[in-house]
Amino acid sequence: MTDLDGNIVAIPNPSGRGPGYRYFGAAKKLPGVRELFDKPPEVRKRRTRYEIHKRINAGYYGYYDDEDGMLERLEAVAEKRMRNEVITEWHRVERVRREAMKGVVSGEVASAGGRGGEAAREVLFEEVEEEVEEERRLEEEKREREKGEEAGKEFIAHVPLPDEKEIERMVLERKKKELLSKYTSDALQVEQEEAKEMLNVRR
């Protein structure tokens, strides 16, 4: 059943039999009946952050992915392939090292021809390059440290600092001048200075 706007209306006992009422035509427009057909708008309450995060559990972060065992089966193939690649690379490197060491032990110059030569050089000189790189880095740090020390020596200025008695004397003189300027005039101060100079009084 629909109302005038075409909305489906749920009325108790729509079959017309029994105690329920059915409204037709102009009866639907009556004041008390109209409210029956008007649905109140659904008010969707906005969820707070607390309500959103309340439903988050370990499954949200993927901690339950391994419980069914499916992930292990899927990753087993890739893991096996990666392990085989690493093992074959390790065997290749060991084979090149052994060949190079045999040549060094017997007194011959170790050489590997063809495309294996590059691999042999990489394997043999890999650790040496790292050591040389480390030595270079340490030398640069040492040079920079020495430059910093030299620069520090050049720009250090030794300023003679006054001791406590001298500081107290300077503070006392300043306070005296402030009090004199507050309670005496400029002309009186000039006269006092002249008198002190004549009497050779230094205070």
Residue 163: exposure state from Cβ atoms within 10 A (0-12, 13-18, ≥19) = exposed
Residue 123: the pLDDT is 60
Using CA atoms, how far residue 203 sits from 164, 170, 173, 192, in Å, is: 19, 12, 9, 12
pLDDT digits (tens, 9 = 90+) for 21-55: 666 777 777 777 777 766 676 778 888 999 989 98
Q: At what angle do helices 116-155 and 70-105 cross, to 10 degrees?
A: 90
Residue 8: the pLDDT is 60
- Domain positions in the chain are 1-44, 70-155, 164-199
pLDDT grade, residue 20 (50/70/90)? low
Beta bridge partners of 2: 8
CB 74, CB 66: distance < 8 Å: no
pTM for the model = 0.28
Portion of the chain with pLDDT greater than 90, in percent: 16
Six token digits for residue 186: 């400029």
